Amino acid sequence: MRRRVGTSLYAGLLFTVLGAIAWGTGQPFVFPSLGPSAFLIAFDRRSERGRAARIVGSHLIGGVAGLAAWSLIAAGASLTATPPAFSPEGFRLAASATVSLVATSWAMIATDAVHAPACATTLIVSLGLLSTPTEVAIIVASVTVLVGIHAGVIAVFRRIVGDAHPLYRAENR
């Protein structure tokens, strides 16, 4: 029970900070694939530097692959409404999504930066939802802030408690 409550509240804390940044700047610092990243960080609170780099790197890969696919295949199209059946716009968006997912998957494996939520990031970008270089930069900045906040919390927790997070007994999961 403690793990469920702790994980949920901690994911909420991480997201609250980014929500405040989004609200204060009017920029998309909160987006769908950030939720799974916040959950994974909260669920497994290890603060390894390599893990943080993989999380940021994977979203960077997803953003760049999505932007490249959208720019080359579906520029100007956006999946804000379902396109009509067999429409050229619908085809371009589907192709852009497919190409970006293939490129993101390949690049994450090739660079050892595997983090599944980045596959959602690439779709967000390649489907025209956040498809400008500035928006992709905000996505990467948001993920960087997320892992930075987590590293800060872990550092404070270690200083106060002496460990990265409490160990939960198996029956409390």
Give the start-to-end residue ranges of the domains of the chain.
2-172
Burial class (CB in 10 A: 0-12, 13-18, 19+), 153: buried
Residue pair 59/140 in contact by the 8 Å Cβ criterion: yes
All residue ranges of the chain with pLDDT < 70 are: 1-2, 46-47, 163-173
The DSSP element (H or E) to which 61 belongs, if any, is helix 49-69
Residues 6+ apart with CB under 8 A from 57: 111, 113, 115
Give pLDDT tens digits for 114-150. Answer: 999 999 999 999 999 999 999 999 999 999 999 999 9
| Long-range CB pairs of 151-154, under 8 A, 24+ apart, other chains included | 151/47, 151/52, 153/10, 153/13, 154/45, 154/47
Q: What angle do CA 7, 26, 142 make, to 5 degrees?
A: 40
